[in-house]
């Protein structure tokens, strides 16, 4: 058993490295069999390193939906070193779990999603330690963004600084009317350092992003929706049910198709139109020989709900498509 545990940990560390910014392989790796083993892992093999981050699956009909829950009430979910390690491990586990189809990031702390970095911890850090912390935070949020499956931030209450940057790294953001969102860093004589200066303008435009960052202004849920910062704003307390409704809708679709669609959109936006359309063609081609595509056609003809069943072959084809475009 000890040997299996050590092997799993080793392979997990190996494959997690491919998710760090700027170190993806540029050709198909010779040790791809190890990463194929990694795809077979499930969340049960991942013990929690942090009591402030809970990782669990939704049961029964919601199988495929995974929830990452922030639970550090004494610090308003401020991201200290322990929580950051827990977040990193949670998303590395999800990345290696072939049965995960949608991720929710939520909070169990009333009136707060995440208050940002733990400034009490930061006050005790040297400049070098702060630099390392921010780099690790940035790469962790990049890991969230690079997950092949959809991610949804469930925002009730405050999402400030690093908390908003974490939400920005998600594909979708659902908030309650009581949400307070902002990047207050310039008020502390620093700048958003975990992706905020790059992801915010890509969502709301350069001018609005500059205003929000320069002034450190906080906005409510309705204003956030009007400027495109969040996808939906619902009455306070109803963000989680709305996010779950969207997650269930996604979870019923072809899981490999969802992965390919996410890749085509994310990668395509960074390319010229000709190259982006080539990417779309390649991602579409990867779906042609999947059992899911045939099941979707059969279900349509028979007027029934499709029963999608992801195979390792399909998932591996999806993963290799990602490598081809690095």
Active site residues: 117, 162, 165, 185
Contact partners, residue 300, CB within 8 Å, separation at least 6: 306
Among candidate residues 84, 23, 110, 9, the one with its CA nearest the CA of residue 323: 23
Q: How far apart are CA 266 and CA 121, in angstroms?
A: 34
HSE-CB at 181 with a 13 A cutoff on CA atoms is 30
Q: How far apart are CA 67 and CA 90, in angstroms?
A: 10
Contact partners, residue 21, CB within 8 Å, separation at least 6: 138, 139, 142
Q: Does residue 295 sit in helix, strand or coil?
A: helix
Among candidate residues 139, 174, 126, 180, the one with its CA nearest the CA of residue 157: 180
């Amino acid at each position: 058993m000890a040997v299996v545990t050590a092997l799993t940990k080793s392979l997990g560390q190996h494959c997690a490295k491919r998710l760090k910014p700027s170190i993806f392989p540029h050709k198909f790796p010779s040790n791809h069999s190890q990463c194929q083993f990694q795809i077979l892992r499930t969340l049960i093999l991942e013990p929690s390193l942090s009591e402030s981050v809970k990782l669990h699956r939704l049961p029964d009909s919601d199988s495929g939906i995974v929830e990452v829950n922030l639970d550090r009430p004494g610090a308003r979910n401020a991201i200290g070193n322990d929580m950051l390690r827990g977040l990193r491990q949670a998303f590395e586990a999800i990345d290696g779990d072939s049965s995960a189809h949608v991720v929710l990031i939520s909070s169990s702390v009333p009136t707060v999603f995440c208050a940002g970095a733990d400034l009490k911890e930061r006050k005790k850090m040297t400049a070098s330690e702060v630099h390392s912390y921010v780099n690790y935070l940035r790469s962790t949020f990049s890991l969230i963004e690079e997950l092949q499956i959809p991610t949804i931030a469930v925002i009730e209450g405050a999402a400030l600084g690093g908390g908003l940057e974490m939400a920005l790294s998600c594909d979708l953001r659902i908030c309650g009317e009581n949400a307070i969102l902002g990047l207050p860093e310039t008020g502390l004589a620093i700048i958003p350092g975990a992706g905020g200066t790059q992801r915010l303008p890509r969502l709301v435009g350069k001018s609005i992003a500059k205003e929000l960052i320069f002034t450190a202004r906080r906005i409510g849920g309705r204003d956030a929706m009007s400027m495109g910062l969040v996808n939906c704003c619902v009455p306070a307390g109803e963000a989680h049910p709305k996010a779950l409704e969207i997650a269930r809708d996604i979870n019923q679709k072809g899981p490999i198709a969802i992965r390919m669609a996410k890749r085509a959109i994310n990668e395509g936006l960074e390319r010229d139109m000709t190259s982006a359309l080539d990417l779309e063609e390649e991602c579409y081609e990867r779906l042609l020989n999947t059992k899911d595509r045939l099941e979707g056609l059969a279900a349509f003809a028979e007027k029934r709900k499709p029963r999608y069943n992801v195979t390792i072959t399909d998932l591996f084809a999806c993963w290799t498509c990602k490598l081809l475009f690095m």
